């Protein structure tokens, strides 16, 4: 193929991408087309992407890729491979941009290598979106491993500082009592271990600004914020409100010397959505557990414990933590060697009182017999419908979890949890269930001993892994 035919070859394949302007042809999409001869010299360069790289028209024509590689987003080695007849693809980062390149060899009629045509796409936006999605997934995984609010806070601030390369990150949120805002954690310039006056002044400013953005529920972005007085630097500042179910719970703040751009603000919003749910869930769980403890103490102080009523109240508290659709508790009757219904809620058919189930009968009897948890993710599957109580056929239950109530290796009963939708259970979900089950088991065991009932503490033991049905 003669060199004069290359433009014709290119025009035939990219005619839909070209338009004529003042007698010159240009590519009408944000790509760059490069062509090289057999010696690696540029013979044709076109595309709107050239303006992004700051390369004037005709600047590189006739020059070698091997001498000008530092100004173009192409890999020399892949150009060599294409000149040898291979088709190659790669991604190249240059000047904060990411380019996807496809190298295609061109052959003469005698099959000798005539050159290379390369297409480069600016994929920076998509590349950043993928990186940001990976960052959100990584943060979510880290939050799942955090068991307490105290463990969550440094994970949140350090993750954001790492991905956005910030000079400081901090979290201001409502206290667990919900009565006031608190500077909960910070790193960099705002690290919570720094107690100098300037730093404390920054905290006060952030608290005031947090009140404003919580009220407006809109981000605050500034490029002229002066950090700690005396350092002589201006920073870009971003504050993103933390909201959950349209309820403001605080704000996440970051600052750095370089500007904070729009796609980074979008990443911060995604982070804040994740953080808001995690903090709100932890706060509600702590408040609910406190209420459970208080309820237990009040009932014990009354010197009269109705186990049925106590368990019904505890199930209501469990529902507020796990947002379940229905639950039942059956206690062991050692005299009759069976299980007797004691408490429950959420069922359309409420005729459970006085019901008795034999060991090994139905799902609850299997859990009692094996003394191990039983998880069924899809109760609508044919292999699971045979074990379902006939009265529940129209309840629409999807996910089931049965847990034995055991204290000191002694089976006290079984608790069943039902969801009318598929639930993706995580380790933290199982940990929460373990806490709740232990408390209920201790309440049952100590119903006749007020001292045990009052020691409704926080120590937990993880229950054995569930049996997958």
Q: pLDDT tens across 262-309, in order?
A: 888 888 888 888 888 888 777 777 777 777 777 766 665 554 446 777
Do 279 and 345 lie in one domain? The reply is no
pLDDT band at residue 71 under the 50/70/90 scheme:
confident
Do 26 and 132 lie in one domain? The reply is no
Please report, for residues 45, 389, 393, the alpha-carbon distance to residue 20 in angstroms, rounded to integers and kept in the order given.
16, 74, 69
Please identify, among 250, 284, 318, the residue that sits at the C-terminal boundary of a domain: 284
CATH of the domain at 435: 3.30.450.40
Do 79 and 163 lie in one domain? The reply is no
Please identify, among 93, 122, 151, the residue that sits at the C-terminal boundary of a domain: 122
User: In this structure, is residue 370 part of a structural domain?
Assistant: yes
**Token code pair at residue 310:** 């106590």
Do 279 and 310 lie in one domain? The reply is no
CA distance 74 to 373: 58
Do 278 and 318 lie in one domain? The reply is no
**Token code pair at residue 415:** 């608790």
pLDDT above 90 coverage of the chain, percent? 10
**Token code pair at residue 331:** 């206690």
Query: Would the pLDDT of 310 be above 90?
Result: no
User: In this structure, is residue 295 part of a structural domain?
Assistant: no
CATH of the domain at 19: 3.30.450.20
Express each pLDDT in 388-445 by its tens digit.
Answer: 777 777 788 888 999 999 888 889 899 999 998 888 777 777 888 888 888 888 877 7
CA distance 187 to 335: 61
Express each pLDDT in 228-239 by its tens digit.
Answer: 544 556 788 899
Domains: count for the chain: 3
Taking the CA of residue 449 as centre, how many other CA atoms within 13 Å lie in the half-sphere pointing to its CB? Answer: 8
**Which letter does DSSP use for residue 449 in this model?**
-
CB 260 within 8 A of CB 221: yes
Please identify, among 284, 313, 341, the residue that sits at the C-terminal boundary of a domain: 284
In angstroms, the first-to-last Cα distance of the chain is: 67
Do 397 and 443 lie in one domain? The reply is yes
Do 234 and 85 lie in one domain? The reply is no
User: In this structure, is residue 149 part of a structural domain?
Assistant: yes
User: In this structure, is residue 203 part of a structural domain?
Assistant: yes
Which of the residue ranges 74-83, 200-209, 223-232 would you say has the lowest mean pLDDT?
223-232
Q: Which of 202, 238, 247 is nearest to 219 (CA)?
A: 238
Q: Strand pairing partners for 26? A: 19
pLDDT band at residue 105 under the 50/70/90 scheme:
very high
Do 54 and 188 lie in one domain? The reply is no
Place of tokens 């090994």: 360
Look at 12 and 459; give whichever has higher pLDDT.
12
Q: Strand pairing partners for 357? A: 339
Residues with Cβ < 8 Å from 56, sequence gap 6 or more?
none
User: In this structure, is residue 208 part of a structural domain?
Assistant: yes
Do 393 and 406 lie in one domain? The reply is yes
pLDDT band at residue 29 under the 50/70/90 scheme:
very low
**Which letter does DSSP use for residue 68 in this model?**
S
CA angle at 261 for the pair 93 and 127, rounded to the nearest 5°: 35
User: In this structure, is residue 385 part of a structural domain?
Assistant: yes
Domain that holds residue 391: 305-468
- In angstroms and rounded to an integer, the radius of gyration of the C-alpha atoms of the chain is 33
Do 148 and 116 lie in one domain? The reply is no
User: In this structure, is residue 51 part of a structural domain?
Assistant: yes
Do 316 and 391 lie in one domain? The reply is yes
Do 430 and 329 lie in one domain? The reply is yes
Specify the pLDDT at position 354. 67
CA angle at 436 for the pair 433 and 441, rounded to the nearest 5°: 120
Q: Which of 456, 415, 462, 405 is nearest to 434 (CA)?
A: 462
CB 454 within 8 A of CB 297: yes
User: In this structure, is residue 111 part of a structural domain?
Assistant: yes
pLDDT band at residue 96 under the 50/70/90 scheme:
confident
């Amino acid at each position: 193929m003669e060199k004069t035919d290359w433009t014709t070859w290119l025009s035939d394949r990219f005619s839909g991408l070209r338009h004529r302007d003042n007698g010159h042809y240009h590519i009408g999409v944000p790509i760059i087309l490069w062509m090289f001869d057999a010696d690696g010299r540029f013979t044709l360069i076109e595309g709107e992407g050239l303006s992004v790289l700051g390369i004037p028209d005709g600047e590189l024509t006739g020059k070698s890729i091997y001498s000008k590689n530092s100004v173009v987003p192409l890999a020399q080695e892949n150009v060599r491979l294409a000149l040898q007849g291979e088709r190659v693809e790669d991604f190249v980062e240059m000047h904060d941009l990411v380019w996807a390149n496809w190298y295609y060899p061109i052959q003469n009629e005698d099959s000798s290598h005539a050159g290379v045509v390369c297409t480069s796409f600016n994929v920076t936006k998509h590349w950043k979106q993928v990186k940001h999605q990976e960052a959100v997934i990584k943060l979510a995984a880290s939050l799942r491993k955090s068991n307490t609010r105290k463990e969550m806070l440094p994970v949140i601030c350090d993750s954001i500082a790492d991905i956005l390369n910030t000079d400081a990150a901090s979290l201001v949120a409502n206290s667990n009592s919900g009565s006031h805002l608190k500077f909960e954690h910070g790193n960099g310039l705002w690290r919570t271990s720094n107690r100098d006056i300037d730093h404390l002044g920054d905290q006060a400013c952030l608290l005031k600004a947090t009140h404003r953005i919580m009220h407006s529920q809109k981000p605050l972005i500034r490029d002229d914020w002066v950090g700690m007085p005396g350092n002589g630097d201006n920073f870009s500042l971003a504050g993103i409100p933390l909201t959950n179910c349209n309820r403001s719970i605080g704000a996440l703040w970051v600052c750095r010397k370089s500007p904070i751009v729009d796609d980074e603000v979008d990443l911060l919003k995604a982070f804040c959505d994740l953080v808001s749910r995690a903090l709100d869930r932890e706060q509600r769980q702590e408040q609910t557990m406190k209420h459970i403890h208080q309820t237990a103490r009040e009932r014990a102080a009354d010197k009269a414990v109705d186990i049925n009523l106590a368990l019904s109240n505890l199930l209501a508290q469990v529902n507020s933590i796990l947002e379940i659709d229905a639950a039942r508790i059956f206690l062991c009757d050692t005299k009759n060697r069976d299980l007797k219904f004691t408490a429950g809620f959420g069922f359309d058919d409420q005729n459970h009182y006085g019901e008795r189930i034999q060991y090994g009968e139905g799902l609850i009897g299997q859990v009692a017999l094996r003394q191990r948890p039983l998880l069924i993710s899809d109760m609508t599957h044919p292999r699971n419908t045979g074990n379902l109580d006939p009265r529940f056929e129209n309840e629409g239950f999807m996910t089931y979890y049965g847990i034995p109530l055991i204290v000191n290796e002694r089976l006290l009963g079984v608790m069943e949890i039902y969801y009318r939708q598929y639930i993706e259970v995580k380790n933290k979900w199982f940990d929460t269930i373990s806490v709740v089950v232990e408390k209920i088991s201790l309440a049952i065991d100590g119903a006749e001993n007020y001292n045990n009932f009052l020691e409704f503490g926080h120590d937990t033991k993880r229950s054995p892994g569930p049996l997958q049905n």
